[in-house]
Amino acid sequence: MPHEPSESQPIAIADVLIVDDQPDNVVILAEALESADCRCRVATSGKRALAAVASKTPDVILLDILMPGLDGYEVCRQLKSKHETADIPVLFLSALDEPFDKLRAFEAGGADYVTKPFHIAEVRARVQVHVRLRRLQQALAESSLTDALTGLANRRRFEEVLAGEWGRAERRNDTLSLLMIDVDHFKCFNDHYGHVAGDDCLRRVGQSLQGALSRSADFVARYGGEEFVAVLAGLDPAECATQGERLRAAVEKQAIPHEASTAGPVVSISIGAATLRPNRNRSSIELVEAADAALYRAKAAGRNRVEASSAGGN
């Protein structure tokens, strides 16, 4: 369960970027915020602010509007137009106090607006609210991509990773492999040992799979139910089958008793392995279907084995 910051908890140190060309404002803000669990960085122009964000993503940005060169509105617009920086809350701090100015700030993507001369306690309180909301948003984003039972990536995350890796492999003219993994006779396991034991078994299988993948780029997810999936880049079909065999052996080595299985005395998995070289005439669905067909053959051939797709790596 992701940690959700609450009202009563102090927030962890927050990284705040102060963007203002007036040194006096910067000093007052930095002093007040650093005494309130914030680490402040300073940028004295719009251009420098964009560079500071690119080098390290802050939790909140305090942004002046009237600055030489890029003004605050434009800085905010540029941040909001990029996927990596779009979610950083921007709190405008400006001497402009007409409703029209404030509206422009919100239209540019601002999350809040404080007029100068500001009351420092108010700025501090608003920063804390935005840090808390940002942390909550990050925790929610994380949990929406995580499988609650096993802690592995979930199907949604898998779809994202597969699309990303497919594109990357296509650009590099590299191969992409998929392992479709299914626990053998899992219905019998549940019937024999109960669903709580079944859940524990799925957790342990997930851990084994994760632990057996050696390269940092290798990816494993729970596909759904008792099915898991792994995405591996840059392997030929034989290497992919070898990785599949590592996973199969890792689960078998856990030696989780499965008296009701006809595939063996312990919990085992069947794996369908497929490797393709992505190009623009192909879709990743082809890879999933090839691995799925190979998994079907692994089941039909007696389970507890790896079957490679006949599609090959080209």
Ligand X SMILES: Nc1nc2c(ncn2[C@@H]2O[C@H](COP(=O)(O)OP(=O)(O)OP(=O)(O)O)[C@@H](O)[C@H]2O)c(=O)[nH]1
Q: Do 29 and 40 form a contact (C-beta atoms < 8 A)?
A: yes
- How many C-beta atoms surround the C-beta of residue 238 within 10 A? 11
- Closest-CA residue to 219 (of 290, 172, 164): 164
φ, ψ for residue 159, nearest 5 deg: -60, -40
What is the closest distance, in whole angstroms, from the C-beta atom of residue 205 to ligand X in the complex? 11
What is the closest distance, in whole angstroms, from the C-beta atom of residue 199 to ligand X in the complex? 5
Tell me whether residue 81 is exposed, middle or buried, using C-beta atoms within 10 angstroms of its C-beta: 0 to 12, 13 to 18, 19 or more.
Answer: exposed
85 versus 190: smaller Cβ distance to ligand X = 190
SS3 label, residue 120: helix
64 versus 182: smaller Cβ distance to ligand X = 182
What is the closest distance, in whole angstroms, from the C-beta atom of residue 261 to ligand X in the complex? 8
Q: Report cis status (omega within 30 of 0) of the bond before 117.
A: yes
What is the closest distance, in whole angstroms, from the C-beta atom of residue 314 to ligand X in the complex? 30
Question: Which residue's beta carbon is nearest to the bound ligand X?
Answer: 198
What is the closest distance, in whole angstroms, from the C-beta atom of residue 295 to ligand X in the complex? 9
Could you list the residues that contact ligand X (CB under 6 A)? 149, 182-188, 190, 195, 198-199, 202, 225-226, 299, 303
Calpha distance 108→159 (Å, rounded):
32
What is the closest distance, in whole angstroms, from the C-beta atom of residue 197 to ligand X in the complex? 8
118 versus 189: smaller Cβ distance to ligand X = 189
The CA–CA distances, whole Å, from 226 to 158, 180, 223, 254 equal: 15, 11, 8, 16
Catalytic residues: 226
The CA–CA distances, whole Å, from 314 to 111, 164, 174, 244, 272 equal: 49, 19, 10, 19, 17
148 versus 285: smaller Cβ distance to ligand X = 148
161 versus 188: smaller Cβ distance to ligand X = 188
141 versus 300: smaller Cβ distance to ligand X = 300
- Closest-CA residue to 17 (of 60, 56, 48): 60
Given CA atoms 281, 283, 284, 288 in this order, what sign does their dihedral have? negative
* 84-106 exposure pattern, b = at least 16 Cβ within 10 A, e = fewer: ebeebbbbbbbebeeeebbebbe
Alpha helix segments (H runs only) across 144-265: 155-172, 186-193, 195-212, 237-253
What is the closest distance, in whole angstroms, from the C-beta atom of residue 222 to ligand X in the complex? 9
- Closest-CA residue to 211 (of 249, 180, 264): 249
134 versus 303: smaller Cβ distance to ligand X = 303
